[in-house]
Amino acid sequence: MTTTSTAPAVTRTDPSARRPPALGGFSPTVLAIEIRRVLRNRRTLMFTLIMPAVFFLLFGLPQRGQELPNGRPVTAWIMISLAVYAAMVATTSAGGAVATERALGWSRQLRLTPLRPAAYVATKAATAMVLGLIAVVIEFAVGAAAGVRLPAYVWLLAGLGAWLGSLVFAAFGLFIGYLAPAENVMQFMGPILAILAMFGGLFVPLDVLPHVLQQIARFTPVYGVGEIARAPLTGDGVSGAALANVIGWTVLFSLGAARLFRRDTARV
């Protein structure tokens, strides 16, 4: 009597037939990990969340009692401007963190995973925007605690303007992160942001600058965000030039970051 055993058939799956991950691999779990990792960085917390609040206490409080032409407090103008600055520093630093991952070779490893490039960039941008939102909330909380009083709609619209406008700098951070080496990226981004804030009308009103600098300022990435965020306070309305400024720079930095990302991940 003989016994015949049959081995189970092995089914081979064509790799090309595998389903891509949902949303290209974008995952709330990965996003939460990224946010926690950024918040554990003490240097990031110091320069993006604490220093702008300290600046308000140093330069905003001495202006208490002064008013804008519409009767609103000057301290509110300073608070909103510094909220924009805090958000732009926060989103830029979070986006620029990709430089470290590039140095470690992580971005090239992504070519071996199902994660789509767009999902990876979206995760970084979302992380930057969360950090930017925290920065705006902290700045506004410090301003309120220091005595800034505004109608509720001004708080809401100015906060949204400062936060959503910081998307420009999330894209800027990604662009710089793929352009500069990791060991240098944060060293020169800080001074660049400070210069942009100075000549973009965040630290001082544009009308106190020479006429030539006023015209140059309108083409900086900071100008549009600052104008939009302060519009609910000043009552001047949002100009088409400010909107075009924000949209144009966001598109430019986003396209640049996407191109550099594809070039970087192609080196496998």
Question: What six digits make up the tokens of 3?
Answer: 């016994």
- Say how far apart CA 56 and CA 100 lie, in whole Å: 31
- Per-residue model confidence (pLDDT) at position 10: 46
Question: Is 70 exceeded by the pLDDT of residue 265?
Answer: no
Rounded to an integer, what distance in angstroms lies between the CA atom of residue 118 and that of residue 127? 14
**62 by DSSP, 3-state: which?**
helix
Q: Which one, of 34, 33, 140, lies nearest residue 87 by Cα?
A: 140
For residues 57 and 224, the model is more confident at: 224
Are 209 and 229 in contact, with CB atoms under 8 Å apart? no
C-alpha to C-alpha distance for 123 and 134, rounded to whole angstroms: 17
pLDDT for 66: 86
Highest mean pLDDT: which range of 25-29, 41-45, 221-225: 221-225
Q: What's phi and psi for 108, nearest 5 deg?
A: -75, -30
Q: At what angle do helices 240-265 and 117-145 cross, to 10 degrees?
A: 140
pLDDT in tens, 234-253: 888 888 889 999 999 999 99
Question: Which range, of 29-33, 157-161, 177-181, averages the lowest pLDDT?
Answer: 177-181
Nearest-angstrom CA–CA distance, 224 and 240: 9
- Asked if residue 183 lies in contact with residue 104, where contact means CB atoms within 8 angstroms, the answer is no
219 — alpha (psi -120 to 50), left (phi > 0) or beta? alpha
> Hey, which of 28-32, 185-189, 224-228 has the most confident mean pLDDT?
224-228
DSSP 217-267: HTTSHHHHHHHHHHHHHH-----HHHHHHHHHHHHHHHHHHHHHHHHHHT-
N-to-C CA span, the chain: 58
Condensed to tens digits (0 to 9), the pLDDT of residues 67-84 reads 888 889 999 999 999 999
pLDDT reported for residue 112: 66
In 3D, which of 40, 53, 231, 38 has the Cα closest to residue 135? 53
Domain ranges of the chain: 24-265
The angle at the Cα of 246, spanning 120 to 134, to the nearest 5 degrees, equals 60
Alpha helices in the chain (DSSP H): 28-39, 42-45, 51-55, 74-96, 98-103, 106-109, 117-145, 152-165, 167-179, 182-199, 211-217, 221-234, 240-265
